[in-house]
Structure 1
């Protein structure tokens, strides 16, 4: 179903990919939640202040990201992409993502 038929003001979804060895650089979602379902691949999420916490997820895992939590996502494979279904509690999420510097003062 294309966007012409979807009138949601509070949801968005897409398929996201991270190429082999790629990174979704550190950022923060301002005012919206995210749920990801890893379809293919394995990732390492570094998150929290200074990105000092980490967790690994693989195909079949769900990941929940609270609003305002800094995070960076690494594809752990040098040969396979990561593919994930991403759902967000905001239809205008791209206007509400800001870069995060892991070295910024607290």
Structure 2
């Protein structure tokens, strides 16, 4: 998207997916790339049964998540020492710079969430944390 185009409302009909650094496939929605957004990125994520992300954080950007369908779980904290379950209908806030590793604990059902971040770029602020991944080769709460 050209940065020289005039500001206007944009309707985005998700038609493509992209593979994120975190290891998941995201449904494109609102971003600098798709709509010329300057301060927000929003997309949809479906995690397949047993799927898990790579440990990561978003530098200088907050994240808000709405669990649309199913159930997810997440390890978080400086050493991923804390754990929480996210149920359908829950809202989740992740502060900027917080290490986290989301996953789907179900062996049978996928889960879907709507995710918004204060970074307008889909992947720019993602910082992988491979030293934490080593601790979670096999996720078990």
Fold match (TM-score > 0.5): yes
Structure 1 residue runs of 5 or longer lacking an equivalent are none
TM-score by length of 1: 0.89
Q: 1:45 aligned to 40, 55, 74, which one?
A: 74
Give the number of equivalent residue pairs: 104
String of CA shifts for 1:17-74, please: whole Å, max 9, x gaps: 1110000121010111100000111111100011001111110000000010000011
Runs of 4+, deviation exceeding 6 Å: none
Structure 2 vs 1, CA of residues 73 and 103 (structure 1 numbering), >3 Å: closer, same or farther?
closer
Question: Partner of 1:13 in structure 2?
Answer: 42
What is the CA RMSD across the aligned residues, in angstroms?
A: 2.0
Question: Partner of 1:102 in structure 2?
Answer: 132
Higher RCO, 1 or 2 (CA under 8 Å, sep at least 6)?
Answer: 1
TM-score by length of 2: 0.68
- Tell me how far 1:77 sits from its aligned partner: 0.7
Q: 1:84 aligned to 100, 113, 120, which one?
A: 113
More strand, by proportion: 1
Query: In the alignment, does 2:85 pair up with 1:56?
Result: yes
